[in-house]
Chain A
């Protein structure tokens, strides 16, 4: 099993460009999450998907959109990138709904917006 995979690993964008971060899990998990990690701050939840067909905003959703394409895949889209979105992005998944279950993280995507 690959676990949680993310693509790309690194990306550099110019202000105003758009891109989609891809995430897939092969553990048949119900819930999936997108986080961002910034220096000096804890991980923050951007969006989550409790189950296939549902998505909800997290703590810092502005400037992002998500799609739960199927049970395996959960993508994060930046429509018009801004320098404030420079960060490391992690996708995670958990078997059961909610955060009382172990979360499994992808390797991260390091995004720089110039």
Chain B
């Protein structure tokens, strides 16, 4: 079983819809990252969380440490949000330098 599981694997939405991508993990963590990978391949860090909630523009990330779960929400989705969204965690027991990555969620937003 992977330490980091994302759901759904694929998600298709219509422009304007509210989108939720989920990330569950099985180990104790000190930080969780959300990243975005565009169709061209480039990877951008969106958020780093250790508790609570963060917001940037139309993106909101939440984390529940007790339930070992995080969600990434996109409000008023747009075709330019189409990308792979990746969750990654830093285990409290592992190396300070190692992130464990999920396999990603492919989001397609249709106009």
CB proximity of A48 to chain B, nearest CB, Å:
5
> When the two chains form their complex, are residues B31 and A43 in contact, meaning their CB atoms are under 8 A apart?
no
Q: Using an 8 Å CB-CB cutoff, how does the interface string of B3-39 with A read, 1 for contact, 0 for none?
A: 0100000000000000000000000001101010000
- Measured between alpha carbons, how far is A103 from B98 in the docked complex, in Å? 12
* Shortest distance from the beta carbon of A23 to any chain B beta carbon, whole Å: 14
Q: Is the CB of A99 within 8 A of B41?
A: no
Q: Is the CB of B31 within 8 A of A107?
A: no
Contact at A102–B90, with CB atoms within 8 Å?
A: no
Which of B42-50, B63-71, B72-80 has 4 or more CB atoms under 8 Å from chain A? B42-50
- Chain A interface size band reads 20 to 34
Q: Is the CB of B97 within 8 A of A98?
A: yes
Q: Which A residues contact B (CB, under 8 angstroms)? A: 31, 33, 40-45, 48, 50, 56, 58-59, 88, 90, 92, 97-105, 107-108, 110
Could you list 25 examples of A-B contacts with CB < 8 Å? Answer: A31-B97, A41-B103, A42-B2, A42-B104, A44-B101, A45-B97, A45-B99, A48-B98, A50-B97, A56-B95, A88-B41, A97-B97, A99-B96, A100-B30, A100-B48, A100-B50, A100-B96, A101-B48, A102-B45, A103-B45, A104-B45, A105-B43, A105-B44, A108-B41, A108-B42
